[in-house]
Chains A and B, each alone.
Chain A
Amino acid sequence: MASLRMQGLKKRFGTMEIIPSLDLEIADHEFVVFVGPSGCGKSTLLRIIAGLEPITEGDLFIGDQRVNDLTPAQRDIAMVFQDYALYPHMTVYQNMAFGLQMRHTPQAEIDARVQNAARLLDIEPLLKRRPRALSGGQRQRVAMGRAIVRDPKVFLFDEPLSNLDAQLRGQVRSEIKALSQRLKTTMIFVTHDQVEAMTMADRIVVLRGGVIQQVGAPEEIYGRPANRFVAGFIGSPSMNFLPVNLADGAAHLPDSRTLNIGTALRGTAVLGIRPEHFIPAPEGTGMPVDVTLVEPLGSDTLVHFLVGDIKCIARVAPDTRPHVGERLPLSVAPGKAYLFDPETGARLA
């Protein structure tokens, strides 16, 4: 139950700069999700918050307290490690109870909390087993349980659901969300999963090479990406990017087709269109494209096509079933065309 503040935070491993300089404030009770490509420093950042990595420069506050020099034990955080890090010599029950014992929680309460967490995570039958007798997904749930029995100032989750099957993942995801609302504890959650990020976060922090690209609510990150990287990283399938020439309110595509997007800008730019923002246009209007592949997903259909030699994807209604080779006219949903600076990637409109 505490806010979190990073000020001019820098992290170097030897001479390798992993986090150049990071400023971020996380409010009390907030659920923040860190996303970013592999190696961008998400785990490192969590480990810094936990006190497992020393800070090279800058300050870290939990609540009003500067915690740079506090040990992990003194910081009162709970963490799910990316590699689980269960205690091999303890049973599942003991693994989950250990942190509470270390903090002198009464035995009856320990028991209640462990049983409760075990029920949430569907690992009640495993309580007497040791980690080596568990599957990967079961170990991950125990790691999760070891954190959620605690009542810390901050929860840190490092990809805690990556090894679960789709159904269990959905189930645990909603449990965590419910837990965060019930406990009113600050949570930081690292994930590669778009759905997790979008559904759970109060705010998403997009990282790249240790630098924050954008911080914002999920719909803001999705709807108003700050730059081309964020636009491409969030959303699945990712946004289509086309180099265009802007003139007379229209975008002129590489293969000399034009797409009417109603913009006042001129000159070269990168046009970004999400697959779901292509809409089939009435015959004779829009931009005709040659379908190269059709992927029916059930809920909707992915249509692949080429613009010049750039592969694009449109997500259309499931009853739209064009044939490969068919010519399909597409237009862009009004106000859904994004424009980026071809040099810096910053969003222009």
Chain B
Amino acid sequence: MSDRTLSQPRREQLMRVLVIAQLVILAIGILFPIAWMVTSSFKSSADVTAYPPTLLFRPTLDNYTRLLQTTPFFSYARNSLIESGSSTLIGLLLGVPAAYAASITRASWPALVTLSARMAPGTLFLIPWYIVFRDLGMVGTYGALILTQAAITLPIVIWVLLPAFDAIPRSILEAAGVDGCGILRSLWRVALPLVSSGLVIATILAFVFSWNYFLFALVLSDENTKPLVVAAFNYIGEGSTDWGGLMAAATLIALPPLVLAIAVQRWLVAGLTLGAVKG
């Protein structure tokens, strides 16, 4: 008895240390490639291919200036913004009501359908997809790229929001009905505010996935609608690759989603439904 009470604080301490160690290992694994990318982008072309890799080097902005001078980087960035922004918006506009409808009707098939849409290998659809847009004369247009990426964002939105809606006690939604809300108003005034953190997560995920969506964009875009990820691909040349420039581009591409995630971090608060119902 007294033995256990004595060892209790020490055991807790040990657990803390183990948890922290685990987090550190995990963080290193995740952050290492990012650190590599960022440091490489500041290396001179000699340093970037040096083997063994140099840890101490004289940072230079050469890669960035070259990138911005030799490529229309900002127009690619604008393309990416237009395409990811619009497809995220479409995903939200369609996905939010879809997830809500699936939740209140307790239908399980929409979740299954969206899951299989997420799991199916995209390459399978690449050619028919291309043919459809070619026949529509839409290859190289924003429309084609936005619609294609909406096919990515929509399932993400549904998949994130469905469990969030499911977690709202039904009686709260029923109370909204009794208070005079139709289905859309109960969604807007009651359900959405209660899943706001889920909504933020869904928005970020949808935006990031569509921002990084490569294969279909490669096939469907042209010089005027090319998004950043596709443009960066051009840095991988047949003969020699400009690794420094590529890393600078990659760093810049990774920036907006990161900024977005940090900006909305404070929204990600849980436990909002606390205290709504008895017990």
A residues contacting B by CB (< 8 A) are 47, 50-52, 71-73, 77-79, 81-89, 98-99, 102-103, 130-134, 136, 139, 146, 163
Contacts and interface: CB of A to CB of B under 8 A. Distances in A.
Contacts of A163: 278
A128 to B, nearest CB: 15
Contacts of B178: 50, 52, 72-73, 77-79, 99
A131 B179 contact: no
Interface in B178-198: 178-182, 185, 189-190, 193-194
Given A132-B274, A139-B278, A85 B177 contact: no
A52 B170 CA distance: 10
A102 B179 contact: yes
Given A87-B172, A87-B190, A130 B177 contact: no
B169 A85 contact: yes
Interface of B: 169, 171-172, 174-182, 185, 189-190, 193-194, 272-279
Contact of A73 (B181, B273, B274): B181
A99 B174 CA distance: 12
7 contacts: A50-B174, A71-B177, A73-B180, A79-B175, A87-B175, A102-B185, A131-B276
Contact of A88 (B181, B189, B194, B278): B194
Contact of A136 (B172, B185, B278): B278
B196 to A, nearest CB: 8
A72 B177 contact: yes
A134 B180 contact: no
A189 B278 CA distance: 19
A89 B188 CA distance: 13
A243 B198 CA distance: 64
A73 B169 contact: no
B180 A88 contact: no
Given A52-B174, A102-B185, A88 B276 contact: yes
Contacts of A47: 174
B168 to A, nearest CB: 9
Nearest to B180: A102
A102 B274 CA distance: 24
A83 B171 CA distance: 8
Contact of A89 (B182, B194, B277): B194
Given A81-B174, A87-B172, 14 more contacts: A47-B174, A52-B178, A73-B181, A78-B178, A79-B178, A82-B278, A83-B171, A84-B277, A87-B175, A88-B272, A102-B180, A130-B275, A139-B275, A163-B278
Contacts of B177: 51-52, 71-73
A88 B172 contact: yes
Nearest to B174: A52
